[in-house]
Amino acid sequence: MVISISGAGGMIGQALTRVFTEKGWTIRIINRDSFNLSDEAFRLQKIEGTDAVINLAGAPLSAKWTDLYMKEIYNSRILTTRKITQSIVNATQRPSLFISASAIGIYDPIGIHTEESTAFSSGFIYQLCMDWEAEAFKASGITRLVIMRMGVVLSAEGGALKKMVLPFSLGLGGKVGEGSQPFSFIHIDDLVQAFIFIIGFPEMTGVVNAVTPYPTTQSEFAQKFGRVLKQPVFLTIPEFVLRCRLGKGASMLLEGQRVMPGKLEKAGFRWKYPTVQNALVNLYG
């Protein structure tokens, strides 16, 4: 199995590369410099002859969102996905599968969402996801396409959880805002296994929600995390603090989506860490 991965240096990309390599699969790394190659060189070196392409490229969302950084967030996803998709379309030996990342932030914060939901959000994240997915969908009909709408990925190696460990371990953690907003998540190990499951399940196409079947709330997440770290949780992180630190990106934490993994459940996928308690105990228990 030969797989190209863009964004292989990120938290998810590193986890995939490690597990795929252990399985004996060959990995072609698509890094930032790769996108500076000519279209033909990029296609020949990174896409031609692969079995699958996984697209995870994009600037981190955890930095402060200034207008300039929001442009970087957008371009680092749209332009890279466009180049990958064009290369797949133009390839002579096309990959049989293209998995492109997206986010559950595309959904609105009201109700419960499966892959069939058309109740979308508004604002920057919504537009980002719509345009991001639109670029990937240009490969639909050319190869098997899966759009992975990911929830919050829980990992001790990076992402939001790693940044929370210090304040929570000092008893300074707390709920975000009012705390009732939904929190849909997935353990990094389950996410890796979901990728492997999809690779081996040729009937699965289109949008796939990469979350567990048991979403929680910001408040419950904070209480569970404090309990696992044996620290009290009694603080509330007010909205203005988040906006000072994250700028417009604070909306990701102040809102949330209750999302269900309908396709993965129906296909028979099994989560090793289905609840937030399972996930946090595994990572920090």
CATH number, domain with residue 68: 3.40.50.720
**Total of domains in the chain:** 1
Residue 237 domain-assigned? no
Interval 189-195 mean pLDDT: 98
Residue 231 domain-assigned? no
Q: Taking 90 as the threshold, does the pLDDT of residue 147 lie above it?
A: yes
Q: What's CA 129's distance to the chain center, in Å?
A: 11
**Nearest-CA neighbor of 187 among 249, 266, 112, 279?**
279
What's the rounded Cα separation, in Å, for the pair 262 and 269? 10
Find the domain containing 116 and state its range: 2-151+186-213+259-271
Q: Taking 80 as the threshold, does the pLDDT of residue 241 lie above it?
A: no
pLDDT, position 188? 98
Q: Taking 90 as the threshold, does the pLDDT of residue 283 lie above it?
A: yes
What's the rounded Cα separation, in Å, for the pair 273 and 190? 7
Residue 278 domain-assigned? no
pLDDT, position 171? 84
pLDDT, position 240? 67
**Nearest-CA neighbor of 186 among 207, 160, 222, 210?**
210
Residue 157 domain-assigned? no
pLDDT, position 62? 78
Residue 47 domain-assigned? yes
Q: What's CA 169's distance to the chain center, in Å?
A: 26
Q: Taking 70 as the threshold, does the pLDDT of residue 249 lie above it?
A: no
pLDDT, position 161? 84
Q: Taking 80 as the threshold, does the pLDDT of residue 217 lie above it?
A: yes
Residue 246 domain-assigned? no
Residue-level length of the chain = 285
What's the rounded Cα separation, in Å, for the pair 145 and 65? 30
Q: Do residues 148 and 98 touch, judged by C-beta distance below 8 A? A: no
What's the rounded Cα separation, in Å, for the pair 176 and 267? 34
- The larger pLDDT score, comparing residue 256 to residue 271, is at 271
pLDDT, position 160? 81
Interval 105-120 mean pLDDT: 94
Residue 281 domain-assigned? no
What's the rounded Cα separation, in Å, for the pair 96 and 94? 6
Residue 247 domain-assigned? no
**Nearest-CA neighbor of 237 among 247, 228, 250?**
250
Burial of 85 (0-12, 13-18, 19+ CB in 10 A): buried
38-52, 86-100, 199-213, 243-257: lowest mean pLDDT where? Answer: 243-257
Q: Taking 70 as the threshold, does the pLDDT of residue 246 lie above it?
A: no
